[in-house]
Amino acid sequence: MVIEHNLDVIRQADWLIDLGPGPGRHGGNVLYQGHVADYPPDAGTPTARALAAHR
């Protein structure tokens, strides 16, 4: 397990768990978990938008 924000590293992951929607006590909700390629680009999260922009 690694906490990462680099999109190149995220794309190479076997499994993605996206936590949010904010940092610290405001975050920690599971927004998505699954294969990176299956993350819906219209999920409305910063991670989904970033991945969709670089597909």
Q: What is the pLDDT of residue 33?
A: 96
| pLDDT value, residue 32 | 95
What was the pLDDT predicted at 13? Answer: 92
**Residue 19 near residue 31, CB atoms below 8 Å:** yes
User: What residues does 18 pair with on adjacent strands?
Assistant: 32
Tens-place pLDDT, residues 4-50: 889 899 999 999 999 888 777 877 889 999 999 999 999 999 899 99
What gap in Å lies between CA 10 and CA 55, rounded to an integer? Answer: 12
Q: Based on the number of CB atoms within 10 Å of its own CB, is 3 exposed (0-12), middle (13-18) or buried (19 or more)?
A: exposed
